[in-house]
Every structure is written in C-alpha cells, then in structure tokens.
Structure 1
C-alpha cells in the first residue's frame, strides 16, 4: 500500500467526499455515551449499524433521528460495504456503530475502514467504551504489554493454531467469549498456557458487573458452582520470564517442521512417533505437523 496521509481536522482538498466516523457506543451503561458521539450521530447523513433494532433504541434514547439508517454486518458486508462507500464518495458523512463499544474491533467494520482508505476517504475515530481495555485496567495483571485475541475459533485445531504462537508471550492476553463456551475455553487455556492467573469480567458497566480473579483452575471451580451468565472478557496472565526464556532456548526454534521430524526419525523413532513428538514440542496438533509436511 502506498503512503496515505490523513489530516482529520485540517481543511482538506475539495474532493466532494464525505468522511467515515467510527463512533463508540456504550457497552452497557448509557451514561458512557460521550457528548461528541451524540453530536456526531446527529450531524451525520447516514448511520450504519450492526443491528439496526439495537441501534434504534440508542438513537431514540438520545433523540437522534438520522436521515438514513443502514444495516451493515458480517452477512451483508460484501454488498453493503461498496454501497456505503459510494454514498461517502458522493459527499455524505457516515457514522458506523457496532452493537456495543468500539466499531471495527472483532466486527466487519474493519472491512469498511479498508474500503474507505482505498478510496481516499477520511476515517475519523470517536472514542468511547471498550470491554477489553476496561477489563484489562481493572484486572490487576500487567498493562505494559498486551495482545487482543478477539473470539477464539470453534474447532480445537484452530484454537491450538491461535494459542500456540503466544504460549511464551510475556504480555497479558485478552479475549472475548460467550457464556456457552467459557468453560471449554478455560480448559483450552489450562491445557495450552497452564494454570495461569486469569480474570473473568462480565456484565461490564451494568448492574451485575462482576470480576472473578484467580487461577484458571480456581475459576473453573467457581463456574462449576455459578453457571456462566452474560458475555465474558477473559484477561490472561502473560508467560513468566522463565517460560519465555525456556521457549527462546528451545533447540528446535530455528529449524523447520520437516527438520524437526527428521531429527527424531534419525534418533530411532518411526515417522508417526516422530511427528507426535515434534507436535508436542511445538504445542500444536499432530495434524498441523502433518499438514506442514505436505
């Protein structure tokens, strides 16, 4: 991509284009809506929403009547995205909102941003509430470095693919999870990352806001007696310096998967056992090693 410079609030060349505003909305408590967000939604020509029914409630509360309210979500983004960009090119200002929090994080808003940038459209953030960062700052875990994972995939092999590269990451990890999958996900975390300290944050900014802090196993025991309710943000302690150093010192770090398997074959193991051993070293499934050898 070639160099792209945007001066959001300086006079731009008169190209007739509007702008794309990414407007944060409350994650629970309506008092978290900013004055700037309300003004922006009132002034924009179009509001694009992940769920128009949910957004209408918000707009009604703040007495906002947009000229146009569009549906833009994962299942219609391929068709709606270019249409919305066309409106902006024609001179209309568009505000994008998600169901809650900052748009373009773990939702299709990021695709609309890419389309806008490709067309030379100014993309302007209107900051506000965010579940992941709100959970992080009250977690008691390190805030110096962190990695946001979003939602983990559903299949075991895909989960292993996501978690394996960050096993030795020294930074705090953040992910979102539903109440139906939180117990299973904690099991994967325990398996892949160990019995680390975690924080289960739920119902953020709402009446029943709750933070459960403890080890993975302690949190699993808690959930066994207190069935999960509400959407969760999980904050996970980063790897210790000992774990990080151990990972760096692993003898196989600088060799390919093929060379890793060959090493064990030359030591006397059959190919199947060599693949299993290499997979164990790398913290991935045997199928991942098999696919890497194809």
Structure 2
C-alpha cells in the first residue's frame, strides 16, 4: 500500500498518532526532502528506515522504481516537506502511478497549510474555495492565471515564495485593489504572522519571509466590473501603452482588472494605440 502521510507544517506537536504508527511500520519512505524527513524521523525515534528521494526533479524512472517496490509487496509512506503530500507537490506523480498500477492508496489526513491559512484568514465562506498553488512566474501563463483568479467569486488560496510575494501581491492588487486578502506566514511556527487587509494595502508591505500562503476573500467580479467606467478604462489603457507594454499584455491585464472580455479590450487597445500615433 501507498500511504499518503500528512506531516507537520511547522510545529512538530501537530503530527498525528496514526502518522507515527504508519511511519514506523512501512518498509520505506518516499520524501521530497530526505534531510528534513530524517530530522522528523529522528524526533519521533524512528531509525534505520530507508528513505527515497522524490522531488520536482525526479525522473519517471524514479517513480517507476517506487511503484516496483509497491508491486513487490512493500508498503511506502509518501511525505512532503511539510503538510499534505500531492497538493502542489511532486508526490502527485507517485500517487497517479500507484493508482494506475493497481496499488491501494491510503490517505492519512493531518496538517495542511491550505486549510490552516483559510480558517485563520477570516475569509472562508459557505461557497467553498479555489486552491491554485503557485502562480506561473511570468508571461502569458501568469497573466492568464491572474485573470482566472479575478473571475473566481469564491475565496482563492495560493502559495508563494518570500522572494516573489511582494510582486505577486502587486500584480493581484493591480487587478483587484479592494479585494480582501490575508497573507499567512510561517504557520504554526515561532514567528507565525497573519496579516489581513485589502490587496492594495498588503502590496505595499516589504520584507516577507518564510513559508507563505495568500488567501483572497470572496469577490463579485460583476459588481467590480460595473464600478469601472469607460473613461477609467481608456485612461488606464493609455498609461499602460505609455509605459511601453505590448498591446496584447495590456489587453490581458486590463481585461482581468475590468472584468470585460479580453477580445473587446484588445480591440480597444489597438484603436487607442493607433489614434495616439
């Protein structure tokens, strides 16, 4: 069997009794970071357990070897750096391969940065939520992902590295300045910090550190679109074009911000660009 084992996201006291029992009983462990996992095992008094590396750069053959162990009758515990494996995590490949091979997959629920950030944010709603993981770093894919976030009325949760948190908050605030948000940093750890406010305020903050989750509150794209007048759209198109941004990128950015169809905005951008020459 493949056990998908949630481990603490910071505070080691959050490990479950069942997780400890499984980590002790399995034949081997597949870990995103073997050093970090061995530290956890040492803390739990588990020694001599084979620990295999399974990270974002692991090959398909690495996954196959683990599946071969499972098919040979061994049991494996899949763990990630922290929290629940296979959620925006390389362990997803092993879960899919195990299912395809007819291996039983057993989940062990426990710590989750997604849920911890959501419940602490005060932004949860009865309509559910969307988890998007890490946004693409740049280009069309990033703009498309931000546009999807803008179109999502339910709360949205995403992860970000501390180095890119300010840039991501700025991009989100550029599209939805008044959307309520929360940055949850170093959850369950000594320096835990939970900062709440509109995106426009959070985007001004510097010095983000540690593991970060961003929660965006419920949002009404239609109401937001209605509040933006035609002159405001034209003024922003002109500002973006003056800054040297390519017409297509301008259209994608303003469509996300205004809630208008991208094709409509693109045609508008082209017209204003031509008239300014």
2:182 — aligned with what? Answer: 199
CA contact 2:182–2:215 (8 Å) conserved in 1: yes
Q: Provide the secondary structure at the position in 1 that maps to 2:89.
A: coil
2:168 — aligned with what? Answer: 185
Seen in structure 2, the aligned counterparts of structure 1 residues 217 and 63 have a Cα distance that, compared at 3 Å, is same
How many residues were matched structurally?
Answer: 243
Matched, 1:229 2:212: no
Using the TM superposition, give the Cα deviation of residue 116 of structure 1 relative to its aligned residue in structure 2, in angstroms: 0.6
Alignment of 1:44-123 (within 5 A): 44-123=26-105
Aligned pair partner of 2:218 in 227, 238, 249:
238
State how far apart, in whole Å, the 2-side matches of 1:63 and 1:197 are: 44
State how far apart, in whole Å, the 2-side matches of 1:31 and 1:106 are: 24
State how far apart, in whole Å, the 2-side matches of 1:103 and 1:142 are: 23
What is the TM-score with the length of structure 2 in the denominator?
A: 0.80
Q: Provide the secondary structure at the position in 2 that maps to 1:102.
A: coil
Q: Provide the secondary structure at the position in 2 that maps to 1:135.
A: helix
Matched, 1:208 2:188: no
Using the TM superposition, give the Cα deviation of residue 132 of structure 1 relative to its aligned residue in structure 2, in angstroms: 1.1
Seen in structure 2, the aligned counterparts of structure 1 residues 118 and 216 have a Cα distance that, compared at 3 Å, is same
Using the TM superposition, give the Cα deviation of residue 67 of structure 1 relative to its aligned residue in structure 2, in angstroms: 3.7
**What's the C-alpha RMSD, in Å, of the aligned pairs?**
2.7
Superposed CA offset, 1:188-218 (max 9, x none) = 1012233311101001001111100111121
State how far apart, in whole Å, the 1-side matches of 2:251 and 2:88 are: 35
Q: Provide the secondary structure at the position in 1 that maps to 2:182.
A: strand
CA contact 2:27–2:75 (8 Å) conserved in 1: yes
CA contact 1:199–1:236 (8 Å) conserved in 2: yes
CA contact 1:41–1:66 (8 Å) conserved in 2: no
Using the TM superposition, give the Cα deviation of residue 164 of structure 1 relative to its aligned residue in structure 2, in angstroms: 1.3
Gaps of 5+ in 1: 1-18, 247-271, 287-294
Using the TM superposition, give the Cα deviation of residue 238 of structure 1 relative to its aligned residue in structure 2, in angstroms: 2.5
